[in-house]
Amino acid sequence: MSETEIKKVSKKDFILVDLIGRIKESGKVFESTIREVAEKADIYDEREVYKPRLVVVGSGWVLQGIDEALEGLHINETKAIEISPEKGFGERDPKNIKTLPAREFLKQNVKPRPGMTIRVKGRLATVQKVGGGRIRVDMNHPLAGQVLEYDVTVKSILDKDEDKIRALIERRIPGFDASRFTINISEKTVEIIMPNESVLINNIQFVKIGLVNDIFSNFSYESVKFLEIFEKTIAEQS
């Protein structure tokens, strides 16, 4: 057996995992990192990037029930787990079902209808009933109270800091080719050279702040530098 096959997942490891999540009662797939599975379950979203998900084990990046199940797994090992509501999306709370006056939504040019997802006081809510000038909304997570089943497969364990930081970039900028970033690491500093087109990424300053927080939370480096280098194209030089 190779060293890769022997190695087990430990807390704080950077790992890439494939996930398939189902509602136990119905068997319905509601989440997958695998495109073919999402398409078959009719939950495919063209805005999503279907690839193994980065998880720093024990950091709360996935549901508690998944986080706890990851430790001890080998690369390419698949584990079927059952997740209770308290380790998933929580129990349903009747206090999160509220009836509000319709005029609050009309002021925002929102016309609620049953089944619609809207934002209420900064939280997402599902419209249950519309009538009599009042709107009943459910602010519980749609999967609250459900027992879930997940198939979790560890695809790789990242060892090198450069690979870990590049994976953090991909997590912060889904769909962008992280190999376009150059990462230079010294004893105390991480230097990230950004490609020209990265300046057009939405909220790039917030992305950079998020990356700094990720790096400081998971490594002992003392500073992070971002460099933007612009070079003349051949057309501009002529």
> What are the sequence ranges of the domains in the chain?
1-91+145-159, 94-138, 160-238
Q: Two tokens at 47?
A: 């805005």
**Cα–Cα distance, 218 to 168 (Å, whole number):** 11
Closest residue by Cα to residue 33 from 20, 47, 14 = 20
pTM: 0.85
Share of the chain above pLDDT 90, in %: 79
Which of 222-237 are b and which e, b meaning 16 or more Cβ less than 10 Å from the residue's Cβ?
eebebeeeeeeeeeee
Question: pLDDT tens, 38-50?
Answer: 999 999 999 999 9
Fold category of 1-91+145-159 in CATH: Chitinase A; domain 3 (3.10.50)
Cα dist. 114→82, 101, 106, 138, 144 in Å?
Answer: 31, 15, 16, 11, 19
- Whether the domain at 1-91+145-159 and the domain at 94-138 fall into the same CATH topology: no
When the pLDDT of each residue in the chain is averaged and rounded to a whole number, the result is 92
DSSP characters over 163-182: HHHHHHHHHHSTTS-GGGSE
Structure tokens belonging to residue 216: 């400081």
Q: CATH 3.90.1170.50: does it fit domain 94-138?
A: no
Q: Which structure tokens are listed for 22?
A: 């189902």
Can you count the helices (H) and strands (E) in the chain? 7, 12
Q: Among positive and negative, which fits the CA dihedral 165, 168, 172, 174?
A: positive
CATH topology of domain 160-238: Alpha-Beta Plaits (3.30.70)
- The string of pLDDT tens digits covering residues 132-179 is 899 999 999 999 999 999 999 999 999 999 999 999 999 999 989 999
Q: What band does 237 get if pLDDT is binned at 50, 70 and 90? A: low
